[in-house]
Amino acid sequence: MNTSDSRPQGALAGIRVLDISRILGGPYCGQILGDHGADVLKVEPPQGDDTRTWGPPFKDGVASYYHGLNRNKRSMHLDLGSTQGREALLALVAEADVLIENFKAGTMERWGMGYEELSRRFPRLVWCRVTGFGSDGPLGALPGYDAAVQAMAGIMSINGEAEGGPLRVGLPVVDMVTGLNAVIGVLLALQERQRSGRGQFVEAALYDSGLSLLHPHAANWFLDGNSPRRTGNAHPNIYPYDTLATGTQPLFIAVGNDRQFASLCRCIGVPQLASDARYARAGDRSVNRVALKAALEEAMQDFDGAALVDTLMAAGVPAAPVLSVDAALSHPHTAHREMVVDLPGGYRGIGAPVKLSRTPATYRHAPLTPGTGFGG
Protein backbone atom coordinates (compact mmCIF):
# COMPACT_ATOMS: atom_id res chain seq x y z
CA MET A 1 0.00 0.00 0.00
CA ASN A 2 1.44 3.32 -1.08
CA THR A 3 1.30 5.76 1.83
CA SER A 4 4.71 7.34 1.38
CA ASP A 5 5.45 10.62 -0.35
CA SER A 6 8.82 9.13 -1.37
CA ARG A 7 7.06 7.03 -4.00
CA PRO A 8 6.51 8.44 -7.54
CA GLN A 9 4.15 11.38 -7.73
CA GLY A 10 0.61 10.65 -8.78
CA ALA A 11 -0.68 11.15 -12.30
CA LEU A 12 -2.40 14.40 -11.25
CA ALA A 13 0.50 15.89 -9.27
CA GLY A 14 0.49 19.66 -9.71
CA ILE A 15 -3.29 19.87 -10.28
CA ARG A 16 -5.04 21.97 -7.63
CA VAL A 17 -8.64 21.05 -6.84
CA LEU A 18 -11.00 23.21 -4.80
CA ASP A 19 -13.75 20.92 -3.47
CA ILE A 20 -16.68 22.91 -2.10
CA SER A 21 -19.16 20.06 -2.57
CA ARG A 22 -21.06 18.15 0.09
CA ILE A 23 -22.66 14.74 0.64
CA LEU A 24 -21.38 12.05 -1.78
CA GLY A 25 -20.98 12.56 -5.56
CA GLY A 26 -18.79 15.66 -5.41
CA PRO A 27 -16.67 14.59 -2.41
CA TYR A 28 -16.14 11.15 -4.00
CA CYS A 29 -14.89 12.85 -7.16
CA GLY A 30 -12.51 14.98 -5.10
CA GLN A 31 -11.19 11.98 -3.19
CA ILE A 32 -10.39 10.08 -6.40
CA LEU A 33 -8.54 13.07 -7.84
CA GLY A 34 -6.65 13.36 -4.55
CA ASP A 35 -5.74 9.68 -4.54
CA HIS A 36 -4.02 10.21 -7.87
CA GLY A 37 -1.91 13.12 -6.74
CA ALA A 38 -4.04 16.25 -7.02
CA ASP A 39 -3.72 18.84 -4.25
CA VAL A 40 -7.30 18.91 -2.94
CA LEU A 41 -8.58 21.57 -0.57
CA LYS A 42 -12.06 20.89 0.83
CA VAL A 43 -13.99 23.99 1.90
CA GLU A 44 -16.91 23.31 4.22
CA PRO A 45 -19.48 25.58 5.89
CA PRO A 46 -18.86 26.45 9.56
CA GLN A 47 -20.98 23.50 10.72
CA GLY A 48 -19.18 21.09 8.36
CA ASP A 49 -20.39 18.77 5.62
CA ASP A 50 -23.79 17.25 6.47
CA THR A 51 -22.32 13.75 6.30
CA ARG A 52 -20.28 14.40 9.45
CA THR A 53 -23.55 13.58 11.27
CA TRP A 54 -24.56 10.54 9.16
CA GLY A 55 -23.89 7.83 11.71
CA PRO A 56 -23.36 5.84 13.77
CA PRO A 57 -20.61 4.82 13.86
CA PHE A 58 -18.67 7.94 14.81
CA LYS A 59 -15.03 8.68 15.56
CA ASP A 60 -14.39 11.81 17.61
CA GLY A 61 -17.88 12.99 16.73
CA VAL A 62 -17.50 12.58 12.95
CA ALA A 63 -19.42 9.84 11.14
CA SER A 64 -17.79 7.01 9.22
CA TYR A 65 -19.74 8.17 6.15
CA TYR A 66 -17.66 11.35 6.04
CA HIS A 67 -14.40 9.50 6.66
CA GLY A 68 -15.09 7.25 3.67
CA LEU A 69 -15.23 10.16 1.18
CA ASN A 70 -12.72 12.76 2.29
CA ARG A 71 -9.17 11.41 2.49
CA ASN A 72 -6.32 13.01 0.54
CA LYS A 73 -7.86 16.40 1.19
CA ARG A 74 -7.02 19.18 3.56
CA SER A 75 -10.10 20.91 4.93
CA MET A 76 -11.04 24.40 6.04
CA HIS A 77 -14.23 26.22 6.96
CA LEU A 78 -15.69 29.29 5.25
CA ASP A 79 -19.05 30.95 5.62
CA LEU A 80 -19.93 31.55 1.98
CA GLY A 81 -23.04 33.40 3.05
CA SER A 82 -20.75 36.25 4.15
CA THR A 83 -18.87 38.72 2.00
CA GLN A 84 -15.63 37.83 3.75
CA GLY A 85 -16.13 34.13 3.10
CA ARG A 86 -16.86 34.67 -0.59
CA GLU A 87 -13.81 36.87 -0.99
CA ALA A 88 -11.66 34.17 0.61
CA LEU A 89 -13.15 31.59 -1.74
CA LEU A 90 -12.42 33.75 -4.79
CA ALA A 91 -8.79 33.97 -3.72
CA LEU A 92 -8.66 30.18 -3.63
CA VAL A 93 -10.41 29.85 -7.02
CA ALA A 94 -7.68 32.05 -8.48
CA GLU A 95 -5.13 29.34 -7.62
CA ALA A 96 -7.26 26.33 -8.59
CA ASP A 97 -7.27 24.22 -11.74
CA VAL A 98 -10.56 22.51 -10.85
CA LEU A 99 -13.59 23.62 -8.86
CA ILE A 100 -16.06 20.95 -7.68
CA GLU A 101 -19.44 22.12 -6.36
CA ASN A 102 -22.96 20.80 -5.97
CA PHE A 103 -24.90 23.76 -4.66
CA LYS A 104 -28.52 24.23 -5.67
CA ALA A 105 -28.70 25.77 -9.13
CA GLY A 106 -28.45 29.55 -8.95
CA THR A 107 -26.64 29.67 -5.60
CA MET A 108 -23.20 30.46 -7.00
CA GLU A 109 -24.74 32.98 -9.40
CA ARG A 110 -26.55 34.69 -6.52
CA TRP A 111 -23.20 35.03 -4.79
CA GLY A 112 -21.73 36.68 -7.87
CA MET A 113 -19.60 33.61 -8.63
CA GLY A 114 -21.45 31.97 -11.50
CA TYR A 115 -19.67 30.15 -14.29
CA GLU A 116 -19.84 33.06 -16.72
CA GLU A 117 -18.20 35.38 -14.23
CA LEU A 118 -15.54 32.96 -13.00
CA SER A 119 -14.66 31.65 -16.47
CA ARG A 120 -14.10 35.23 -17.62
CA ARG A 121 -11.82 35.94 -14.68
CA PHE A 122 -10.13 32.52 -14.66
CA PRO A 123 -10.27 31.16 -18.22
CA ARG A 124 -8.25 28.00 -17.43
CA LEU A 125 -10.60 26.91 -14.65
CA VAL A 126 -12.38 23.56 -15.04
CA TRP A 127 -15.68 23.93 -13.21
CA CYS A 128 -17.34 20.63 -12.26
CA ARG A 129 -20.92 20.76 -11.07
CA VAL A 130 -22.67 17.70 -9.65
CA THR A 131 -26.45 18.07 -9.78
CA GLY A 132 -29.57 16.01 -9.33
CA PHE A 133 -31.26 16.67 -12.67
CA GLY A 134 -29.14 19.27 -14.43
CA SER A 135 -29.79 23.00 -14.42
CA ASP A 136 -32.65 23.16 -16.94
CA GLY A 137 -35.41 21.07 -18.53
CA PRO A 138 -38.65 19.81 -16.93
CA LEU A 139 -36.84 18.72 -13.76
CA GLY A 140 -33.94 21.17 -13.98
CA ALA A 141 -32.60 22.65 -10.76
CA LEU A 142 -34.63 20.29 -8.57
CA PRO A 143 -32.71 18.58 -5.75
CA GLY A 144 -31.79 14.94 -6.29
CA TYR A 145 -30.90 12.16 -3.88
CA ASP A 146 -29.59 8.73 -4.75
CA ALA A 147 -32.62 6.64 -3.75
CA ALA A 148 -35.10 9.04 -5.37
CA VAL A 149 -33.16 8.88 -8.63
CA GLN A 150 -32.96 5.08 -8.39
CA ALA A 151 -36.75 5.18 -8.28
CA MET A 152 -37.19 7.67 -11.13
CA ALA A 153 -34.54 6.22 -13.43
CA GLY A 154 -36.08 2.74 -13.41
CA ILE A 155 -33.36 1.08 -11.35
CA MET A 156 -35.67 0.05 -8.52
CA SER A 157 -38.13 -1.42 -11.00
CA ILE A 158 -35.61 -4.03 -12.17
CA ASN A 159 -33.99 -4.69 -8.77
CA GLY A 160 -35.37 -7.31 -6.40
CA GLU A 161 -36.94 -10.73 -6.47
CA ALA A 162 -39.22 -11.59 -9.39
CA GLU A 163 -42.28 -11.90 -7.14
CA GLY A 164 -41.34 -8.98 -4.90
CA GLY A 165 -41.69 -5.24 -5.21
CA PRO A 166 -39.23 -2.65 -6.55
CA LEU A 167 -36.15 -2.49 -4.36
CA ARG A 168 -33.42 0.09 -3.81
CA VAL A 169 -29.91 -1.14 -4.58
CA GLY A 170 -28.24 -1.56 -1.19
CA LEU A 171 -25.56 1.05 -1.77
CA PRO A 172 -25.65 4.60 -3.20
CA VAL A 173 -24.85 3.40 -6.71
CA VAL A 174 -26.22 6.49 -8.48
CA ASP A 175 -24.28 8.93 -6.30
CA MET A 176 -21.07 6.94 -6.70
CA VAL A 177 -21.38 6.55 -10.46
CA THR A 178 -22.12 10.26 -10.71
CA GLY A 179 -18.88 10.90 -8.82
CA LEU A 180 -17.04 8.65 -11.25
CA ASN A 181 -18.62 10.44 -14.20
CA ALA A 182 -17.54 13.74 -12.66
CA VAL A 183 -13.95 12.43 -12.50
CA ILE A 184 -14.13 11.39 -16.15
CA GLY A 185 -15.46 14.82 -17.12
CA VAL A 186 -12.74 16.63 -15.18
CA LEU A 187 -10.01 14.53 -16.77
CA LEU A 188 -11.46 15.08 -20.25
CA ALA A 189 -11.58 18.83 -19.65
CA LEU A 190 -8.01 18.91 -18.32
CA GLN A 191 -6.82 16.95 -21.34
CA GLU A 192 -8.58 19.33 -23.74
CA ARG A 193 -7.16 22.31 -21.84
CA GLN A 194 -3.69 21.21 -22.85
CA ARG A 195 -4.72 21.80 -26.46
CA SER A 196 -6.85 24.93 -26.12
CA GLY A 197 -5.46 26.55 -22.99
CA ARG A 198 -9.03 27.00 -21.77
CA GLY A 199 -11.11 25.37 -19.07
CA GLN A 200 -14.78 24.52 -19.43
CA PHE A 201 -17.94 23.65 -17.55
CA VAL A 202 -18.42 19.97 -16.65
CA GLU A 203 -21.74 18.70 -15.38
CA ALA A 204 -22.52 15.27 -13.96
CA ALA A 205 -26.18 14.74 -13.05
CA LEU A 206 -27.54 11.94 -10.90
CA TYR A 207 -30.49 11.48 -13.25
CA ASP A 208 -28.28 11.03 -16.33
CA SER A 209 -25.98 8.69 -14.43
CA GLY A 210 -28.91 6.62 -13.20
CA LEU A 211 -30.23 6.17 -16.72
CA SER A 212 -26.74 5.27 -17.96
CA LEU A 213 -26.74 2.25 -15.62
CA LEU A 214 -29.72 0.56 -17.25
CA HIS A 215 -27.75 -1.84 -19.46
CA PRO A 216 -28.84 -4.37 -20.65
CA HIS A 217 -32.41 -3.49 -19.69
CA ALA A 218 -32.53 -0.34 -21.81
CA ALA A 219 -30.92 -2.13 -24.77
CA ASN A 220 -33.48 -4.92 -24.47
CA TRP A 221 -36.36 -2.44 -24.37
CA PHE A 222 -35.03 -0.45 -27.32
CA LEU A 223 -34.94 -3.67 -29.36
CA ASP A 224 -38.14 -5.49 -28.44
CA GLY A 225 -40.31 -2.95 -26.60
CA ASN A 226 -41.00 -5.31 -23.68
CA SER A 227 -40.87 -3.66 -20.28
CA PRO A 228 -37.95 -5.13 -18.27
CA ARG A 229 -38.90 -7.06 -15.16
CA ARG A 230 -37.20 -8.11 -11.96
CA THR A 231 -35.24 -11.36 -12.10
CA GLY A 232 -33.72 -11.49 -8.62
CA ASN A 233 -30.08 -12.53 -8.74
CA ALA A 234 -30.46 -13.93 -12.25
CA HIS A 235 -29.23 -12.10 -15.34
CA PRO A 236 -32.09 -11.07 -17.67
CA ASN A 237 -30.31 -12.25 -20.85
CA ILE A 238 -28.08 -15.23 -20.03
CA TYR A 239 -28.28 -18.34 -17.85
CA PRO A 240 -26.96 -19.79 -15.58
CA TYR A 241 -25.91 -16.39 -14.25
CA ASP A 242 -27.50 -16.70 -10.85
CA THR A 243 -27.16 -17.75 -7.23
CA LEU A 244 -27.48 -21.53 -7.02
CA ALA A 245 -27.83 -23.75 -3.96
CA THR A 246 -25.31 -26.44 -3.07
CA GLY A 247 -25.20 -28.92 -0.21
CA THR A 248 -23.70 -26.27 2.10
CA GLN A 249 -23.78 -22.67 0.91
CA PRO A 250 -25.11 -20.82 -2.13
CA LEU A 251 -22.74 -19.91 -4.97
CA PHE A 252 -22.98 -17.34 -7.68
CA ILE A 253 -22.21 -18.93 -11.05
CA ALA A 254 -21.71 -16.70 -14.10
CA VAL A 255 -21.71 -18.73 -17.31
CA GLY A 256 -21.23 -16.54 -20.35
CA ASN A 257 -20.78 -19.03 -23.20
CA ASP A 258 -21.37 -22.63 -24.28
CA ARG A 259 -17.85 -23.76 -23.42
CA GLN A 260 -18.20 -22.59 -19.82
CA PHE A 261 -21.57 -24.31 -19.56
CA ALA A 262 -20.12 -27.60 -20.75
CA SER A 263 -17.32 -27.28 -18.18
CA LEU A 264 -19.84 -26.59 -15.43
CA CYS A 265 -21.84 -29.67 -16.34
CA ARG A 266 -18.72 -31.88 -16.30
CA CYS A 267 -17.62 -30.52 -12.93
CA ILE A 268 -20.95 -31.33 -11.26
CA GLY A 269 -21.36 -34.73 -12.90
CA VAL A 270 -24.12 -34.03 -15.43
CA PRO A 271 -22.28 -33.70 -18.78
CA GLN A 272 -25.44 -34.74 -20.63
CA LEU A 273 -27.05 -31.37 -19.86
CA ALA A 274 -24.59 -29.66 -22.20
CA SER A 275 -25.97 -31.60 -25.18
CA ASP A 276 -29.61 -31.35 -24.16
CA ALA A 277 -31.42 -29.37 -26.87
CA ARG A 278 -33.05 -27.20 -24.20
CA TYR A 279 -29.69 -26.02 -22.88
CA ALA A 280 -27.08 -26.49 -25.61
CA ARG A 281 -27.07 -22.84 -26.71
CA ALA A 282 -27.06 -19.63 -24.69
CA GLY A 283 -30.43 -18.43 -25.98
CA ASP A 284 -32.06 -21.77 -25.19
CA ARG A 285 -30.64 -21.78 -21.68
CA SER A 286 -32.09 -18.35 -21.03
CA VAL A 287 -35.56 -19.36 -22.28
CA ASN A 288 -35.53 -22.63 -20.27
CA ARG A 289 -33.91 -21.19 -17.15
CA VAL A 290 -36.48 -22.47 -14.63
CA ALA A 291 -35.98 -26.12 -15.57
CA LEU A 292 -32.23 -25.63 -15.92
CA LYS A 293 -31.89 -24.10 -12.45
CA ALA A 294 -33.74 -27.05 -10.94
CA ALA A 295 -31.51 -29.55 -12.78
CA LEU A 296 -28.30 -27.78 -11.75
CA GLU A 297 -29.28 -27.44 -8.09
CA GLU A 298 -30.27 -31.12 -7.96
CA ALA A 299 -26.84 -32.06 -9.29
CA MET A 300 -25.08 -29.70 -6.84
CA GLN A 301 -26.89 -30.78 -3.68
CA ASP A 302 -24.15 -33.22 -2.70
CA PHE A 303 -21.30 -30.73 -3.22
CA ASP A 304 -19.62 -28.56 -0.62
CA GLY A 305 -20.02 -25.01 -1.85
CA ALA A 306 -16.55 -23.71 -0.95
CA ALA A 307 -14.80 -26.68 -2.53
CA LEU A 308 -16.98 -26.44 -5.63
CA VAL A 309 -16.00 -22.80 -6.16
CA ASP A 310 -12.35 -23.85 -6.34
CA THR A 311 -13.16 -26.67 -8.75
CA LEU A 312 -15.20 -24.47 -11.04
CA MET A 313 -12.71 -21.61 -11.10
CA ALA A 314 -9.88 -24.03 -11.90
CA ALA A 315 -11.98 -25.29 -14.82
CA GLY A 316 -12.55 -21.79 -16.16
CA VAL A 317 -16.11 -21.39 -14.91
CA PRO A 318 -16.67 -18.04 -13.14
CA ALA A 319 -18.01 -18.79 -9.67
CA ALA A 320 -17.92 -17.14 -6.28
CA PRO A 321 -19.09 -17.60 -2.70
CA VAL A 322 -21.64 -15.09 -1.43
CA LEU A 323 -19.60 -13.21 1.16
CA SER A 324 -20.56 -10.66 3.79
CA VAL A 325 -18.94 -7.21 3.69
CA ASP A 326 -16.57 -8.04 6.55
CA ALA A 327 -15.55 -11.30 4.90
CA ALA A 328 -14.92 -9.55 1.58
CA LEU A 329 -12.78 -6.85 3.20
CA SER A 330 -10.82 -9.51 5.12
CA HIS A 331 -10.20 -11.73 2.09
CA PRO A 332 -6.51 -12.39 1.30
CA HIS A 333 -6.95 -11.16 -2.25
CA THR A 334 -8.33 -7.85 -0.94
CA ALA A 335 -5.04 -7.37 0.90
CA HIS A 336 -3.02 -8.48 -2.13
CA ARG A 337 -4.81 -5.90 -4.31
CA GLU A 338 -4.11 -3.19 -1.68
CA MET A 339 -7.79 -2.42 -1.44
CA VAL A 340 -7.74 -1.56 2.26
CA VAL A 341 -5.87 1.60 3.26
CA ASP A 342 -4.47 2.15 6.77
CA LEU A 343 -3.14 5.58 7.77
CA PRO A 344 -1.69 6.85 11.05
CA GLY A 345 -4.33 7.88 13.53
CA GLY A 346 -6.56 4.88 12.94
CA TYR A 347 -7.99 5.73 9.52
CA ARG A 348 -9.04 2.74 7.41
CA GLY A 349 -10.69 2.96 4.03
CA ILE A 350 -11.18 1.38 0.61
CA GLY A 351 -8.15 1.67 -1.65
CA ALA A 352 -8.03 3.10 -5.17
CA PRO A 353 -9.32 0.55 -7.70
CA VAL A 354 -7.35 1.99 -10.64
CA LYS A 355 -3.73 0.83 -10.65
CA LEU A 356 -1.10 2.79 -12.61
CA SER A 357 2.35 1.29 -13.10
CA ARG A 358 4.52 4.42 -12.89
CA THR A 359 2.27 6.84 -11.00
CA PRO A 360 0.26 4.77 -8.52
CA ALA A 361 -2.29 6.21 -6.13
CA THR A 362 -0.91 7.55 -2.86
CA TYR A 363 -2.60 8.12 0.48
CA ARG A 364 -1.19 11.27 2.03
CA HIS A 365 -3.88 12.90 4.15
CA ALA A 366 -6.40 11.29 6.47
CA PRO A 367 -9.82 12.95 6.53
CA LEU A 368 -10.01 16.13 8.65
CA THR A 369 -6.40 17.14 7.94
CA PRO A 370 -6.37 20.93 8.49
CA GLY A 371 -5.55 23.25 5.60
CA THR A 372 -5.57 26.95 4.84
CA GLY A 373 -4.72 26.92 1.13
CA PHE A 374 -3.05 24.97 -1.64
CA GLY A 375 0.39 23.47 -1.22
CA GLY A 376 0.16 23.21 2.54
Dihedral sign from CA coordinates of 212, 214, 215, 221? negative
The pairing of beta strand 319-321 with beta strand 251-254:
antiparallel
Of the candidates 262, 263, 256, the one whose C-alpha atom is nearest the C-alpha of residue 241 is 256
What is the per-residue pLDDT for 6? 54
What is the per-residue pLDDT for 45? 95
> Helix or strand or coil: residue 68?
coil
Return the active site residues: 175
Q: How confident is the model at residue 375 (pLDDT cuts 50, 70, 90)?
A: confident
Tell me the pLDDT tens digit for each residue of 36-48.
999 999 999 999 9
Tell me the pLDDT tens digit for each residue of 344-367.
999 999 999 999 999 999 999 999
CB 76 within 8 A of CB 46: no
Tell me the pLDDT tens digit for each residue of 279-295.
999 999 999 999 999 99
Please give the Cα distance from 87 to 197 (Å, whole number). 26
What is the per-residue pLDDT for 317? 97
Q: Is the pLDDT of residue 1 over 80?
A: no
Please give the Cα distance from 159 to 165 (Å, whole number). 9
Q: Is the pLDDT of residue 338 over 70?
A: yes
**Residues 6+ positions from 190 with CB-CB distance below 8 Å:** 15, 97, 98, 126
Tell me the pLDDT tens digit for each residue of 84-126.
999 999 999 999 999 999 998 889 999 999 999 999 999 999 9
Q: Is the pLDDT of residue 3 over 80?
A: no
Domains of the chain (ranges, CATH numbers): 16-213+332-370 (3.40.50.10540), 251-321 (3.30.1540.10)
Mean per-residue pLDDT of the chain: 95
Cα Rg, the chain, nearest whole Å: 24
CB 54 within 8 A of CB 63: yes
Q: Is the pLDDT of residue 7 over 90?
A: no
Alpha carbon separation from 86 to 47, 80, 92, 209 (Å, rounded): 16, 5, 10, 31
